[in-house]
């Protein structure tokens, strides 16, 4: 397995990205990994490497490329509850810059880069905000996305007219949600609402609560990391990939 930094030309510039893939010259099923709010960093690269070791080409774009090359946001203070609020205040403006239109436009370039590694359709795995953004990409490109795994993802159901769950009818991918337990951004009512939307749209899906696992449970560089829940997530993700995009 090898990993390297690559560049992806987008409508707004050039995004730096991490590409992990099995060794050799062959083509492999493609997976687009959408990072969490803390951005592209060594932890995300390690996760990409683990997926690639199962036979996939994994592209992780720096979604924050308009603000600079990764790492864009310092995680200083992530282990200190008293400083975490200030950390999120630093991240919030960069997160808010990722409008649905920007994500949909950038996704064309990301999926085109994956097409250099293997034939589509492709899979998406997303974490925290990355699950929601992966959902937007799947809705914007239903012909190119066959699977979506979304883990400890929040704000899928809001009171807004453009709430993500209202896009369920545009999803052609098989969807798996691994929800964090007691997640304020994804309440039991929210989970029920997204499940109902997917059922009404006829989307093949499964939605599970990871009991006792907090929001961010897959991220080993944060204090909320839960090894058992993270391993469960990998098992579910690999099963999803095998069903949908593996040759």
Contact yes or no for 183/206 (Cβ under 8 A): no
Name the catalytic one among 16, 28, 36, 128.
128
- Reply yes or no on whether 128 is catalytic: yes
Q: Which residues of 60-96 are buried (b: 16+ CB within 10 A; e: fewer)?
A: bbbbbbbeeebebbebeebeeeeeeeebeeebeebbe
- Reply yes or no on whether 28 is catalytic: no
Return phi, psi of residue 66, to 5°: -65, -20
Name the catalytic one among 183, 205, 226, 233.
183
Q: How far apart (Å, rounded) are the C-alpha atoms in residues 121 and 41?
A: 26
Return phi, psi of residue 148, to 5°: -140, 120
- Reply yes or no on whether 183 is catalytic: yes
Name the catalytic one among 179, 205, 215, 233.
215
Q: Which residues are catalytic?
A: 128, 183, 215
């Amino acid at each position: 397995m090898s990993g390297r930094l690559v560049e992806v030309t987008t409508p707004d510039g050039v995004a730096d990205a991490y590409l992990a893939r099995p060794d050799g010259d062959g083509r492999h099923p493609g997976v687009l990994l959408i990072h969490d709010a803390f951005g592209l960093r060594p932890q995300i690269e390690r996760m990409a490497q683990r997926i690639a070791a199962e036979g996939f080409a994994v592209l992780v774009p720096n979604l924050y490329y308009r603000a600079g090359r990764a790492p864009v946001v310092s995680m200083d203070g992530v282990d200190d509850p008293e400083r975490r609020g200030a950390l999120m205040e630093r991240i919030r403006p960069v997160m808010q810059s990722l409008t649905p239109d920007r994500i949909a436009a950038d996704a064309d370039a990301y999926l085109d880069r994956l097409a250099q590694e293997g034939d589509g359709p492709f899979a998406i795995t997303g974490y925290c905000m990355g699950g929601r953004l992966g959902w937007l990409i799947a809705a914007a490109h239903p012909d190119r996305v066959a699977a979506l795994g979304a883990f400890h993802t929040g704000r899928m159901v809001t009171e807004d007219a453009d709430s993500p769950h209202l896009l369920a009818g545009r999803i052609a991918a098989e969807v798996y949600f691994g929800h964090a337990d007691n997640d304020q951004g994804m309440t039991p009512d929210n989970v029920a609402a997204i499940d109902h939307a997917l059922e009404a749209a006829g989307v093949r899906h499964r939605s599970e609560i990871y009991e006792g696992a907090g929001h961010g449970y897959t991220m080993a560089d944060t204090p909320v990391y839960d090894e058992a829940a993270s391993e469960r997530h990998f098992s579910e993700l690999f099963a999803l990939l095998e069903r949908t995009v593996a040759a």
